[in-house]
Structure formats: C-alpha cells, structure tokens
Amino acid sequence: MSVSRRAFLGTAGLSALGLTSKTALDAFALQPPHEPAPAPAGTRWAMVIDSKKCLEAGDCTKCLDACHRTHNVPAIANRAHEVKWIWKEPFEHAFPSLQTDYPPDALRDKPVMVLCNHCDNPPCVRVCPTQATWKRSDGIVMMDWHRCIGCRYCVAGCPYGSRSFNWSDPRPSIAQITPDFPTRSKGVVEKCTFCEERLAKGEPPACVAACQAKALVFGNLNDPESDVRSLLRSHFTIRRKPELGTRPAIYYIV
C-alpha cells in the first residue's frame, strides 16, 4: 500500500487541525457567562419620576434648565451632535417594549423625562476599554472625563441613548458657563452623573431640587423609609427596557 505525497500531506494537515481545534473550542466553551454584579448593599441612589405630575406641569423645563446650567451642558441645534443629560422623549420611544396599537390619550406622544438610568448592570461600563466609566458603590454610573479616550463604545452599548459624544468643542455652545463645574472637551463622551458633586455636599440632584411639581423624587433604594421606597410601595412603577437585564435605577409612575 502506497500513499501519495499529496494524500499524506492532506491527512497530516487535517489531523493537526483536529488536534488543535479541540483546545480552541474548549477555550471558547470555558468563557464564563457574564454575571451582573450584585446590587449595591449600602446606599443605592435611585429616582422615581412621576410622569403624571410632570405632564400636569405642561411645558415646564425647570429640571432641564437647572441640569444644563449646573453642568455646562452645551445647547447644540444639530441633532446629530447634540449633548443630552436629561431630556424629554415621547412615551412610545422611552418605553418601546410597552407598545400597544392603542395607547391611552394621556400617554400617546406625551413627553417623558429620561436620563441616565444608573443601571445595576450597566452595559456602558462593560464595554469601556479604559475604565473611564465605572459603577460606584452607591450605584452611580460615574464618568472620569480625564480618562475618556472618545472611542464611543459606551455610546453604542447604552440601550437608552443616555450618552453623548462631543463632536466639537462644546464651549461656544454654552450660553453661560458655570465656573464651579468643568465643561467637557472635544472627543469626550458625557452623561448624567446623578449630580454626584452635589450629593457629596448633601444636596439633592439639581433636577430634583428644581422640580416644583415634585415629579422627580430622589433617594436611597436600600432604605425602606426613603421617599423612593414609599413611592414604589404605593404605586405601580415601570422601568425602561427591563427585558435587557440592565436593571435601571430610574422608576416611572405613568
């Protein structure tokens, strides 16, 4: 029995592939599934947004104005370049998984206040290659603008559109700069930080402090006596896109 040179090389090649592919397949199979971190144990900041109260206030933009003024958020007309920390989104867009063909008039096309959800399982944090964004022990999804390299993975990763990229220097688009807070620079991603600089001083977030309708309620989710917990006890609340498993910390009364 003779084996041609060609057949021998073919068999040897296939055998080598068979031997090595087992190792490669094992390596892929051993990749542990992503386990979301447990919810924070101590303080867990969260917000309840009462959309009914918010809608009763009509065209009120007090929370938006307060947030944008406090944090030097630029007002950019070009929608492709706009920077958003807290904004109004039509109900159908904010809650696409709750779509019905016949939404009640009270909600149809009505604006809902949306902001960063400060998820328990934040996809933006998973994809950030520089740890410029991370989950704090009090639940806040924090950003270090010094460390952001502008790769925009987090913008792609966030299912809520809560992250904005600075395509140009934002300073010319800021009407009145607040010197106490930095602006951002070109090439940096930014988003709501739950006003961590105000929380450090014991003050509520700027949007919550500015809302006179008391539609935005802020508090510690782990404290059964907190305002947010008592609202969650007494009302049926929903969260945005719960099916994604991000476990947002912004609850809505609709």
Partner 1 sequence: MRDRHVIIAALVVFVGLLTFPIWYARAAGTTARGPEPKLPATEKTCVMPVEYMRASHMALLLTWRDDVVRRQDRAYVSPDGKAYTKSLTGTCLRCHANKAEFCDRCHTYAGVTPYCWDCHVAPASLKGSGT
Minimal distance, residue 85 CB to partner 1, in Å:
16
The answer to whether 70 touches 239, Cβ cutoff 8 Å, is no
Minimal distance, residue 132 CB to partner 1, in Å:
10
Among residues 162 and 166, whose Cβ is nearest to partner 1?
Answer: 166
Task: Name the one residue in this structure whose structure tokens are 């933009």.
Answer: 61
Q: Does 185 bind partner 1 (CB under 8 A)?
A: yes
- Tell me the CA distances in angstroms from 130 to 59, 112, 163, 180, one per residue in order: 40, 32, 16, 26
Residue range at the interface with partner 1 (CB under 8 A); choices 17-25, 59-67, 183-191, 217-225: 183-191
Minimal distance, residue 178 CB to partner 1, in Å:
8
| H helix intervals, 143-226 | 153-157, 196-199, 206-210
Residues with Cβ < 8 Å from 180, sequence gap 6 or more? none
Which of 21, 171, 203, 212 is in the footprint of partner 1 by CB under 8 A?
171
Residues 53-72 that bind partner 1 (CB under 8 A): 72
Among residues 18 and 179, whose Cβ is nearest to partner 1?
Answer: 179
Residue 166, token pair as written in the block: 């600075």
Which of 35, 200, 224, 234 is in the footprint of partner 1 by CB under 8 A?
200
Q: Does 142 bind partner 1 (CB under 8 A)?
A: yes
| Bridge pairing between strands 216-220 and 45-50 | antiparallel
